Amino acid sequence: MDDAILIRGTLAGRREDFDVLVERYQKSLYAFAYRFVHDPDRAADIVQTTFLHAYTNLGQFAGRSSFKTWLHQIALNELRTAHRRSRDEHLVPLDEVDEPATTADEGTGSTWKHTLERLIARLPLRQRTVVVLRVFSDLAFKEIARMERMSENSAKVNYHHAITTLRKWMRERDT
């Protein structure tokens, strides 16, 4: 069923229509949030708050972007708020955290994935946001630009800089 039909149904009072939207998008939103906070509980909280805001403000959804993009924008705002709050906490830089030991049954794929996630987390927030939205949430540069309030070209440049930096860091780790 189309998102627009489910949104109209929710606004008409059919809560089960919103449940379908939650079911449709909660996994991708969780993956999106997790890539920023690297904490399952915090990611789940971000997703829950995102859907709460979406539900209570659904009447303001104008349809200028897809519902998926709108949800990601809400989640991104929640992540930024959480990031601002956490700056006051004592955080250990990722560079100072030891790599976990690899177990015998853990393949190189999971080690590579873990390394890549750690490197993405080191990117400046704007570059990290663009990479995660593009690669993991499969959003177009036009949608990312709208969410980040930048030009489409700036979104592409941020993505290019992030990928270049990630490649450099990966090469440094291999040497």
CA distance linking residue 2 with residue 172, whole number of Å: 46
Classify domain 1-89 at the CATH class level. Answer: mainly alpha
Q: Residue 75 has what pLDDT?
A: 94
The pLDDT value recorded for residue 74 is 94
CATH class held by domain 107-175:
mainly alpha
Cβ atoms within 10 Å, residue 6: 19
| CA 95 – CA 37 distance, rounded (Å) | 16
> Which residue, among 56, 58, 34, has the nearest Cα to 46 in the 3D structure?
34
DSSP code at position 139: -
Q: Give tens-digit pLDDT for 15-62.
A: 999 999 999 999 999 999 998 888 899 999 999 999 999 999 999 998
Which residues have C-beta within 8 Å of that of residue 175, sequence separation ≥ 6?
none
| 3-class DSSP string for 71-115 | HHHHHHHHHHHHHHHHHCCCCCCHHHCCCCCCCCCCCHHHHHHHH
pLDDT score at 109: 56
Nearest Cα neighbor of 113 from 134, 92, 135 is 135
The token pair at 74 is: 């809400």
**Model pLDDT, residue 87:** 61
Tokens of 51: 């859907």
- Residue 125 burial by Cβ neighbours in a 10 Å radius (0-12, 13-18, 19+): exposed
The residues of the chain that CATH labels 1.10.1740.10 are 1-89
Give CATH 1.10.10.10 domain extents, the chain: 107-175
Per-residue pLDDT of the chain (175 residues; tens, 9 = 90+): 899 999 999 999 999 999 999 999 999 999 999 988 888 999 999 999 999 999 999 999 988 889 999 999 999 999 888 777 766 554 444 444 444 444 444 445 567 778 888 888 889 989 999 999 898 888 899 999 988 889 999 999 999 999 999 888 888 877 7
Whether residue 62 contacts residue 7, with contact meaning beta carbons closer than 8 Å, is answered with: no
Whole-model pTM above 0.85?
no
